Amino acid sequence: MSTRRPVAAAALALALLTGLAACAKDDQASADTGSGASGTVSIAAQAKGIGKPTDLKVEKQASIAAEVPDAIKADGKLSIGIGALPTGFPPLAFVGDDDKTITGAEPDLARLVAAVLGLKPEFSNDTWDNLFVGIESGKNELGFSNITDTEQRKEKYDFASYRQDNLGFAVKATNTWTFDKNYEHLAGLKVAVGAGTNQEKILVAWQEKLKAEGKTIDIKYFADTPSTFKALVSGQIDAYFSPNPAIAFQISRTQGTPDAVRNAGVYSGAGETLQGLIAATTKKDNGLIKAVADAINYLIQNGQYGQWLAAYNLETEAVAKSEVNPPGLPKSNK
């Protein structure tokens, strides 16, 4: 993922990270066509300069729209869950500069998919845990929120992949430590991770292995992403195990400053032997997931997918094809 961003955008992004909590409300819902002219979806609108504003032509594809279950398309809307509370996670999902629009790479892809399906996207911005509660209850017909495809989650959900899932270790720029995919090199370090996340599951598994060897990792938790990076640059922790896009964004906005960070190494979200995947998520067997995968594949084949990635500097996370329920992170985390 490219880390080159205009200086002005970086300054605006800093203000965004410190101000999102004030403008986002729990369970915020908004109907949003994401469109300008008819058949056009606006990418990175109200995105505070974090993404490149781009208008993409996307028409309803009748053959794909016909795959949507009648019960879901009856009201002409597609209810989409985003787990961006309390502070958002740029460049993937956050509240826009109008203090109400849910924007970023994740909701923008959801807007493109909804356009292919001929439905109006309606967003619900929740906490991470409530995102899944919403999917299970049916309030959210679809989740687009950097959700990793895992075998355990497949017991409750169906997936349509759309991005590679790479995790990384953020360290202070002056820290020479490097992660070479050997968990033993984490011994003795203080490492922060988000609670309830896929990366926490991986880190805890490594901690258990180290305990068996008489060593350990000191796992730390903070309230939100800005607090975690503040702890990192102040020396409270040695590293932050986080999704790769969040680290790349932080690198771009801090380079050349005393708070500069770098990526000390990446790791597949699916473990050592499998490339992790990020996927659109539905309640298991609700009948929607094939239409979503076909919509993503239409966007891949016709170029809008590549333009969407480019708008957020995410080209290195591209997939060649969206797959329904591809192999996911194993329950063993090995």
DSSP string, 129-189: HHHHHHHHHTS-SEE-SS-B-BTTGGGTEEEEEEEEEEEEEEEETT------S-GGGGTT-
pLDDT at 49 (0 to 100) = 77
Report the predicted TM-score, pTM, of the whole model to 2 decimal places.
0.73
- What are the start-end ranges of the E strands in the chain? 28-31, 40-43, 54-57, 77-82, 94-95, 102-103, 120-125, 142-143, 157-172, 190-192, 218-220, 239-243, 261-268, 276-283
Under 8 Å between Cβ of 114 and 121: yes
pLDDT value for 21: 36
User: pLDDT tens digits for 38-55?
Assistant: 699 999 998 887 888 999
**Cα angle: 287, vertex 293, 299; to 5 degrees:** 140
For 87, the token pair is 């502070």
| Cβ contact 157:284 at 8 Å | yes
The predicted-structure confidence for 63-116, as pLDDT tens digits, reads as follows: 999 999 999 999 999 999 999 999 888 889 999 999 989 999 999 999 999 999
